[in-house]
Amino acid sequence: MSKQIPVSKEARADSPEMDALRDDHTHQVAPDLAYKRLALVNVAFYGFPTEGARWVLIDTGVFSSAGMILRAAESRFRTDARPAAIVLTHGHFDHIGCLEELAQKWDVSIFAHPLEFPFLQGEAAYPPPDPQVGGGMMAALAGFYPRGPIDVGRWLAPLPSDGSIPVMPGWKWIHTPGHTPGHISLWRPYDKALIAGDAFITTRQESAYAVITQEPEIHGPPMYYTQDWNEARWSVQKLAALEPEYIITGHGRAMAGGEMRRALQELADRFEYVAVPKRGKYVERPAGIGSGHEYASKDNAHLHSIQRK
């Protein structure tokens, strides 16, 4: 399968030499912004890498990666590292795998978009993934599948409606639905840094091979889980119009600079042709905001996870 929008390795945002010198198990893209690649998915760290710094964890990886997140946090922010908060781009299982464990350990607020709350307080499941699109990834992920919706309601806090993020001064959250109803991206105007979650990604997440090799490309949201392709297209157009300088996405390497911007604009322009599957359940019947299908019954979640295997 060809790449959606190819980019060269020159577009990478991190510096392997500097990362090796710091040796804190993260890839740094700005002095106070880094990410860690866990199995199949990224988490991001906001905050200067100094002892006692105030920092924030963005997304929490798959189930069983808490140890890796804690080790990276401890080497970046020193011992007993506890963040000021956790911010979620969305609640898919590969972004909330360690959420309950970490929230319990740290006892900190979890900020998310209110439209994502039903999935995070045990009220609803995501609509089942579409087995017609994507392919190989399903098998690769089988071991990480969730057993049902989680309930982290006691730590959950809504992102303020003015677009600010309480624990991240200078940042804005932007509603970027489509992949999920309450999906958000994080944007810092002064250096044009963008944390895009799964609104778009930089590797072909549907293919186990591409996930391992992480061949760089600008790619629409992971296909098998995207609920509404019209919303997803508007979200990518909104993000491309920001003309970001650096991007950290939920899957794939961080990227920076003009080539990345051109590729992102091309994805926005040609979204219909390169990112949207030719056919698929959510192409024919979008399950976006207000569709009545955006929240599935939590009672079916267990069944879905069995069907997916």
Q: Of the listed pieces 64-72, 153-161, 245-253, 257-265, which binds Zn ion according to CB under 5 A?
A: 245-253
CB 90 → Zn ion: shortest distance, Å? 6
92 contacts Zn ion (rule: CB under 5 A): yes
CB 219 → Zn ion: shortest distance, Å? 12
Q: Closest CB to Zn ion among 94 and 217?
A: 94
Q: Closest CB to Zn ion among 84 and 112?
A: 112
Choose, by CB under 5 A, the member of 61, 181, 250, 277 that binds Zn ion: 250
Q: Closest CB to Zn ion among 216 and 221?
A: 221
For residue 107, how many C-alpha atoms fall within 13 Å in the half-sphere facing its CB?
0
Q: Closest CB to Zn ion among 24 and 94?
A: 94
198 contacts Zn ion (rule: CB under 5 A): yes
Q: Of the listed pieces 61-69, 86-94, 111-119, 295-303, which binds Zn ion according to CB under 5 A?
A: 86-94
Choose, by CB under 5 A, the member of 14, 59, 94, 100 that binds Zn ion: 94
Chain centroid, CA 221 distance in Å: 10
CB 190 → Zn ion: shortest distance, Å? 27
| Total number of residues that touch Zn ion (CB under 5 A) | 4
Judged by the rule CB under 5 A, the positions of this chain that interact with Zn ion are 92, 94, 198, 250
